[in-house]
Every structure is written in structure tokens, then in C-alpha cells.
Amino acid sequence: MPELTDNIQFPPDCTGTTDKYHYSIYAQEQLRLVHNLFGKWHREGITKAEWDEIWTYWADATDIKKAYPYHEGLLSDELWKKFLDEVFNPRSMRVSREVSGNRSLLKASCFWMPKMEDL
């Protein structure tokens, strides 16, 4: 697993600023959904179907699924905190950094020159 201080590893065909921005926005949404599922698991429990469904949107999450295998009942306070500290927060910060950086590059690109009357 890469160091969490590293930058996001983009797929080989994700090379331009626009692609990286879109990829980062999608990754941010998927992280939010995983966070919400783990939060629900911690508060009220989840079903095996919910657990299986969330991973259909990820190319590979083997390490995380091994570290947090599904079980009935609630996710313990200890595992919830571990998930936040070791999985969600570092990745969320990396993705947010990419979203912000690529958004700034897109805003500064001056590719389009809008007319005030069109806005």
C-alpha cells in the first residue's frame, strides 16, 4: 500500500487536468459513501448486502476489506476510530488536495473567454 502522504495514483489513462479533476471528484464521492456506510455500521449495523454493494464501485479494496471484514452487529468504537484515522481521513485529505489543486488549474486555464451577456 502506498504511503498515505503520497499523491493519488491516477490510472494510466487519466492524464489531463480535467480527467484528474473528474477522477478526484468521483473518488471523493465514493469515500463519502464508504464513510457513511462505516458510520451506519458503527451506529446501527449494516447488512451483508450493504457491505457487498459498496465495494462494487471500487476497482480494488482488498486491503480495507481484509482489515475490516464484515460481521453482524455494530462496528466497535475502536475499529470506527481506526477506520477514520487510518483509512478515511488520510485518503480524504489527499483527494481533497487533488480536487482543490485541479480545480485551481482549471479555473486559471483561460480556455474559454465568457461574455458577460451570456452569463
Per-residue pLDDT, 25: 92
In-domain check, residue 10: no
- Whether pTM exceeds 0.75: yes
In-domain check, residue 79: yes
DSSP string, 21-77: HHHHHHHHHHHHHHHHHHHHHHHT---HHHHHHHGGG-S--HHHHHHS---SSPPPH
Using CA atoms, how far apart are residues 103 and 21, in angstroms rounded to an integer?
Answer: 7
- Cβ pair 4, 91 in contact under 8 A: yes
In-domain check, residue 100: yes
Looking at the structure of the chain, the number of domains it has is: 1
In-domain check, residue 52: yes
Give percent of the chain above pLDDT 90. 54
* Mean pLDDT rounded to a whole number for the chain: 88
In-domain check, residue 72: yes
For residue 49, give its domain range.
Answer: 34-108
Per-residue pLDDT, 4: 46
* Residue 108 backbone class (left: φ over 0; alpha: ψ -120 to 50; beta: rest): alpha
In-domain check, residue 62: yes
Per-residue pLDDT, 2: 45
In-domain check, residue 2: no
Cell matching residue 55: 465495494
Residue with grid cell 457491505, as numbered in its chain: 51
In-domain check, residue 57: yes
